[in-house]
């Protein structure tokens, strides 16, 4: 029996932090390692062109992202790992989907509206972003899509596209479902009301941070004026965020972690937390260094992945062309 198909894309957005890792990559690697799925993971480089960027920095950003993803455990022997732009069928299928997607549907997309109000140019690519995403998924007949909470609306559009396509041209697609990471969001160490992000550098732990930097950032993480350690994101967001990070990196379930530190003070807990993070990131950092030292190999991995993806992509595109009436 063939395996269930998982598809997910990661936008190259500069250096990865533990929020990206825990929110998505860790789970993507676990799904891959379970051996139960046929995983397609790609770098959504076409998507990344829809917001302001510096062309002279793009290539570096994409390559760094590839290195980070491999270091975080995506294995090109187990998953099909490639660049979106290397498989032209992504754009081809997006075009077909454009013809069955209504403008009104896209106008409702929250991410689009937020980006525009945040000052992005309302270019057609940005508007059409969710249609390309639908093509990304359906090209491989994806059934499960690991994604962040903010992508659920786009996934809903993918499902609408499936229904419209199947009804009009014949059933060839299934409606994919999202898989949310156990941790949809890690908050900033600096401000537990904001998502961890490179725009708040002091509260952001990068996968590449040295032990000294990790200790410093965790020591200066905000807490609260209570003294005990509890897990309650509503009432005690700062300390809960730290417990969550502790639990994820140590593998100790949250209630056990709370129990373990029930008579510890914040300073002691933070010391332990820093060491747990340092220890968990060390193998990733070592692997990263090795991979980064051989860029040719990374390029080869990506092109091999694209060839594998291409075989499936072509089959789907042929099927689609046949259904919609193209030669
Ligand atoms: N839009 C996704 C994000 O911002 C990235 C992405 C592009 C994606 N294509 C996809 C995710 C297909 C899942 C499936 O994170």
pLDDT digits (tens, 9 = 90+) for 187-229: 999 999 999 988 899 999 999 999 999 999 999 999 999 989 9
199 annotated among ligand-binding-site residues: no
| List 58, 78, 174, 198, catalytic entry | 198
The fraction of the chain above a pLDDT of 70, given in percent, is: 99
The SS3 assignment for 179 reads: strand
Q: Are strands 177-180 and 144-147 parallel, antiparallel or unpaired?
A: parallel
Q: What is the pLDDT of residues 26-55, one digit of tens each?
A: 999 999 999 999 999 999 999 999 999 999
88 annotated among ligand-binding-site residues: no
- Which residues, other chains included, contact 181 with Cβ-Cβ below 8 Å and sequence gap of 6+? 22, 23, 24, 26, 27, 146, 148
Contact 195, 209 (CB under 8 A): no
Give, as one character, the DSSP assignment of residue 282: H
Q: How far apart are CA 231 and CA 222, in angstroms?
A: 15
What count of other Cβ atoms lies within 10 Å of the Cβ of residue 193? 8
| Residue 184: per-residue pLDDT | 64
7 CB near ligand 1 (under 6 Å): yes
Q: Which domains does the chain have, with CATH numbers?
A: 4-185+295-324 (3.40.50.620), 209-290 (1.10.240.10)
Contact 161, 131 (CB under 8 A): yes
| Residue 183: per-residue pLDDT | 75
47 CB near ligand 1 (under 6 Å): yes
Ligand 1 centroid to residue 154 C-alpha, Å: 9
Q: What is the chain's Cα-based Rg? A: 21
Check pLDDT > 80 for residue 182: no
Q: What is the pLDDT of residues 116-162, one digit of tens each?
A: 999 999 999 999 999 999 999 999 999 999 988 889 999 999 999 99
13 annotated among ligand-binding-site residues: yes
Q: What is the pLDDT of residues 3-28, one digit of tens each?
A: 999 999 999 987 899 998 998 899 99
209 CB near ligand 1 (under 6 Å): no
Rounded to two decimals, what is the model's pTM? Answer: 0.92
Q: Which two tokens stand for residue 62?
A: 């994409």
């Amino acid at each position: 029996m063939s395996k269930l198909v998982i598809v997910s894309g990661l936008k190259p957005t500069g250096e990865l932090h533990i929020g990206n890792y825990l929110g998505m990559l860790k789970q993507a690697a676990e799904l891959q390692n379970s051996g139960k799925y046929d995983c397609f993971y790609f770098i959504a480089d076409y998507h990344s062109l829809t917001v302001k960027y510096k062309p002279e920095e793009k290539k570096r950003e994409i390559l760094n992202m590839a290195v980070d993803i491999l270091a975080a455990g995506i294995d090109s022997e187990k998953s099909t790992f490639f660049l979106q732009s290397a498989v032209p069928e992504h754009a081809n299928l997006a075009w077909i989907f454009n013809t069955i997607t209504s403008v009104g549907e896209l106008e409702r997309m929250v991410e689009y509206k937020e980006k525009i109000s945040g000052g992005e140019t309302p270019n057609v690519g940005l508007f059409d972003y969710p249609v390309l995403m639908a093509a990304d998924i359906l090209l491989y007949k994806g059934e499960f899509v690991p994604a962040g909470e903010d992508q659920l609306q786009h996934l809903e559009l993918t499902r609408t596209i499936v229904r419209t396509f199947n009804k009009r041209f014949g059933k060839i697609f299934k409606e994919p479902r999202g898989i949310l990471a156990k941790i949809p969001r890690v908050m900033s160490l600096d401000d537990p009301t904001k998502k961890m992000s490179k725009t708040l550098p002091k509260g952001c732990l990068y996968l590449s941070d040295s032990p000294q930097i990790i200790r410093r950032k965790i020591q200066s993480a905000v807490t609260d004026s209570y003294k005990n350690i509890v897990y309650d994101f509503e009432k005690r967001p700062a300390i809960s965020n730290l417990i969550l990070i502790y639990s994820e990196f140590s593998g100790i379930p949250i209630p056990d972690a709370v129990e373990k530190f029930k008579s510890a003070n914040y300073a002691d807990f933070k010391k332990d937390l820093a060491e747990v993070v340092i220890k968990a990131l060390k193998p990733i950092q070592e692997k990263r260094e090795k991979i980064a030292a051989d860029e040719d190999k990374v390029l080869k991995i990506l092109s091999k992945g694209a060839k594998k993806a291409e075989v499936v992509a072509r089959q789907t595109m042929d099927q689609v062309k046949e259904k919609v009436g193209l030669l």
